Amino acid sequence: MSNTTIPRDKDPMGQAIAEFHKKGRAGKLRVLSSMFYEDEIPVPTLFRSFDEMPPQEQEAVKLCRGRVLDVGAGSGCHSIELAKRGLQVTAIDISELSVEVMKERGIDARIINFFDETFCEKFDTILLAMNGIGIVGKTENLAAFFKSAKRLLADGGQILLDSSDIRYVFMNDDGSMDIDLAAGYYGEVDYKMRYRNTTGEPFDWLYIDFDTLSMYAEEHGFECEKCLDGEHYDYLARLIVKK
Ligand code: SAH
């Protein structure tokens, strides 16, 4: 897990990003899951400007300070905005294609897996935008997440992340919930992407509600604060190492 990267021929999202970057348009980026109906990520949204970002991402951008690590940066939309604001930004992603696009867009971008223990530079802000904490996959991997975060955070550094409580997906009209408590945390989702003729490997993606995040944060020596509630069960959180 810790040093996996995605080669270009197995990378639907990277291919969509590369095509949009080159041509200004792209095909359908499909998202498949055993838990949901087929969905689509509109590729232009991966290139959103500050004004097009949802409030929790705009707030995250405003709260960034010092040297910033943009984790799972995709097309680099947040990195570009942060650089515009005069911050020093490094973007990492496991997608070779996305990193190539980010480099062409003038970003200090590198093919690095967040969990790779050989990556140990220091940052004042670690940004995980668009449910970037999803890279954890399952709650059992949160320990590894906090370990990497500690390694990468400078003294007094912060983590900024947005996520959602996806309980509404399982909620019935009467407010009761169809959740199998034995099956693990309900925010653990499996996804697979498809772009043109390329289908990627399936991967686990975690959505985590604020209380569950706070509980794990506490357990791993972090203080967790909610900065903003979004419009649909989503939120922005800020985490710092407990003194
Ligand atoms: N932050 C971007 C893109 C989000 S999509 C935006 O807001 O638009 C999530 C990205 O995380 C993808 O580009 C994927 O390749 C990358 N990713 C997944 N696992 C990763 C990991 N372990 N380390 C770094 N990047 C990862």
Give tens-digit pLDDT for 115-145.
999 999 999 999 999 999 999 999 999 999 9
- The per-residue pLDDT for range 199-233, each reduced to its tens digit, is 999 999 999 999 999 999 999 999 999 999 988 89
| CA 180 / ligand 1 centre spacing (Å) | 28
Phi–psi pair at 215, nearest 5 degrees: -60, -50
Going by C-alpha positions, the residue among 6, 11, 225, 42 that lies closest to residue 130 is 42
Whose alpha carbon is nearest atom 26 of ligand 1?
72
Residue 27 is encoded by which pair of tokens? 């095909």
Going by the DSSP 8-state scheme, the letter that residue 118 receives in this structure is T
In this model, does residue 181 exceed pLDDT 80? no
Going by the DSSP 8-state scheme, the letter that residue 201 receives in this structure is P
| pLDDT classification of 1: cutoffs 50, 70, 90 | low
Give me the mean pLDDT over the 33-42 stretch.
Answer: 93
Going by the DSSP 8-state scheme, the letter that residue 85 receives in this structure is T
Please provide the average confidence, as pLDDT, over all residues in the chain.
95
| CA 172 / ligand 1 centre spacing (Å) | 32
Q: Among 125-129, 156-160, 170-174, 193-197, whose mean pLDDT is lowest?
A: 170-174
Q: What ligand 1 atom has the least distance to the C-alpha of 77?
A: 8
Phi–psi pair at 3, nearest 5 degrees: -125, 20
Spatial separation of the C-alpha atoms in residues 167 and 228, rounded to whole Å? 19
Q: Among 94-108, 109-123, 167-181, 188-202, whose mean pLDDT is lowest?
A: 167-181
